[in-house]
Each structure stands twice: as structure tokens, then as C-alpha cells.
Amino acid sequence: MKFLIWLLIGYIVFRIVRGKKELPSPEATKGEETFRDPVCGVYVTADDAVVGTLEGERIHFCSHECLEKFRENLEHKA
Ligand SMILES: [Zn+2]
């Protein structure tokens, strides 16, 4: 029975160590600029973003769909 308890403790420790490793470390995300999609509110990195321009300002979207929605909204407002 003692062996089983040690096995269980070992398993729990293993899970904790593994779980910590899976968390994104601040170093991994450091230096990578993120932009907020104004349509759906998702944060995207410059690499993943679809960039649109509005009055010379660069706006980052998560997808072309959001870019299109943003453009549609502008047209409705105008
Ligand atoms: Zn989006």
C-alpha cells in the first residue's frame, strides 16, 4: 500500500511541475507586440494580424472577416 501512496504523490508532483511548464512564461511573450481587434476584441500579434488603415492609422484585425465588418460599420456611420 505504501508504494501506491508514493506513486500517487509522485504523480501529483509530476502534474504540478508539468502544469507550471505549460503556463506561458512572461519571457516567451515579452517583446512580441499585441494589438486589440476593435471588432471582436481578440488580441493578435503583428505576425497574425490582418492590417487595415484608417486615416493613416494602422488597425490590426484577427481576420479578414473582422476587417470587412469594420469597413461596413464605417460605411453605415458615414
Ligand atoms: Zn476579430
Q: What is the pLDDT of residue 43?
A: 96
For residue 28, pLDDT beyond 80: no
Nearest in space to 34 (alpha carbons), one of 22, 23, 24, 48:
48
Q: How far is the CA of 61 from the centre of ligand 1 (A)?
A: 5
Burial degree of 17 (CB within 10 A; 0-12, 13-18, 19+): exposed
Contact criterion met (CB below 8 Å) for 51 and 63: no
- Please tell me the predicted confidence (pLDDT) of residue 78: 63
Q: Is residue 20 scored above 80 in pLDDT?
A: no
Report the separation in Å between the CA atom of 33 and the middle of ligand 1, taken as the mean of its atom positions.
Answer: 17
Q: In the predicted model, what is the mean pLDDT of residues 59-75?
A: 95
Distance from Cα 72 to the centre of ligand 1, integer Å: 14
Q: Average of pLDDT values for 29-36? A: 80
* Centre of ligand 1 from the C-alpha of residue 35, in Å: 11
CA of 37 from ligand 1 middle (Å) equals 5
Confidence of residue 48 (pLDDT cuts 50, 70, 90): very high
